[in-house]
Amino acid sequence: MWQRTDSQDKPIDAYIIVCQQAACRKRIDDDPMLFIEVSWGGGGPGKFMLLCGNCPHRQEYACKHPNLKSNGGPGLEVKFSGFPIFNVMICGSGGCRTLDRPATYCAGNPAGND
């Protein structure tokens, strides 16, 4: 999944999901705006790609569950794997970090948490 940016390269709430084929990647490369790759474990409510895809509370890339705090609710439990998706450490000038851990459970997804 890729998140689009505005003309100042700041992330906006616009996403694209593409396959791994060259033609799909070309769609990202040909766009005049910058796209930021969002890991499979990353995202947020409505954007956890491994968890939210089949949820009836997901509307486009937003979670509309009434218990979500941003929707005025008391809070919605989301659990994350204890392990990163890949056993990889990424190091750069800002230090090292492991890849994101995927969301594995959401109390608001009645469709299942596989």
Quote the tokens at residue 87.
């056993």
β-partners of residue 64 are none
pLDDT, residue 57, reads 93
pLDDT (tens digit per residue) in 7-31: 888 888 777 777 777 887 788 788 8
pLDDT (tens digit per residue) in 49-79: 778 888 899 888 889 999 998 899 999 888 8
Q: Are strands 58-59 and 35-37 parallel, antiparallel or unpaired?
A: unpaired
Q: What is the rounded CA–CA span in Å between residue 102 and residue 112?
A: 16
Could you list the beta-strand ranges (E) of the chain.
2-5, 11-16, 35-37, 58-59, 62-63, 78-80, 89-92, 95-98, 103-106
For residue 92, pLDDT over 70 is answered with no
Q: Which residue has the higher pLDDT, 89 or 37?
A: 37
DSSP state of 72: T
pLDDT, residue 87, reads 47
pTM higher than the cut 0.85: no
Amino acid identity of residue 103, one-letter, is A
